[in-house]
Amino acid sequence: MSFTVRVDAKNPGQFFACCGLFELAHRVTGGAEARFDATHFIVDAQCTLTELLDRWTASPIEQLELDDDSASPMRIGGPFNLRMDWWKDTDSGGRELKVWAGTMQSGRIMRAMVAALRNARFHDEGLLDVGCIVYDPDEPTKKVEPFYFDARRAPNSHSRDVGFSPNDLDLTTTAFPAVEALALVGLQRCRPGLVADRRRVFEYRAWSTPLPVALAAPAVAGCINFIDSPRYRFEVWFRTGQKKHKAFRPAVLIDKGDKPDA
């Protein structure tokens, strides 16, 4: 049994969202394999995409430090039982990958993005391309802005690009909730490699050979070399003039991976 999701691997948010899907599929089935091709992410697991999303969106999301709404670790409840705290990691670039800051409440954002996925139109291979206005499930009249993992938002978020600051004006725009929520999950295991001597610049590889989840992290970091596994580079970019809030920018293709490294 398998399912596929359409992916633009040059969008780092979509790439790490696929890693998140892989993590969840592994945890709910006890084992899965996955790979990328030119346009899709393919997961071999004993569940359908709909079954996986239904179980995930029904699982509780717990904020583990009640006095820290911005950066508390979180836990996804059973059957996944996944703790997420990668943004606390100072050793492998986790802190540099954190895009939200200040008054942004990470637990509230995550719960809102997951709640938005309880909808049949998300349950097909176009999962990562469905955009909508996201509302707080606890206060349905209040809109919730995303983390900014999805690189489609970065070029339109700074006043230099659009002529005014959406953040300063408290504007709400379309989010891609599957990308935002699943990328937060995927980055717990799979981290891009920090480029030497470049702050907030990272690289990742889209592996093309079916792998179990235990090998996904070294494959993403480029520690396992495969033919036809392209390498991408992206920047975690300041999206406001105050240099607090960040966004994942679109990646550029560094090499096509069409031959093994020497």
- pLDDT of amino acid 169: 54
pLDDT at position 71 is: 93
Question: What is the average pLDDT across 2-7?
Answer: 96
Closest CA to 16 of 262, 159, 187: 187
Containing 177, the helix (H) or strand (E) segment is: helix 177-189
Is 261 a member of any domain? Answer: no
Which residue, chain included where needed, has tokens 């891609």?
Answer: 176
Q: How many domains does the chain have?
A: 1
Residues of the domain holding 89: 2-255
| 0.85 surpassed by pTM | yes
Burial 93-131 (b: 16+ CB within 10 A, else e): bbebbbbbeeebbbbbbbbbbbbbbeeeebbeeebbbbb
Q: Is residue 32 over pLDDT 70?
A: yes
With respect to residue 248, please indicate whether it lies within any of the assigned structural domains. yes
pLDDT(189) > 70 = yes
129 occurs within a structural domain: yes
pLDDT at res. 79: 94
Q: Is the pLDDT of residue 34 over 50?
A: yes
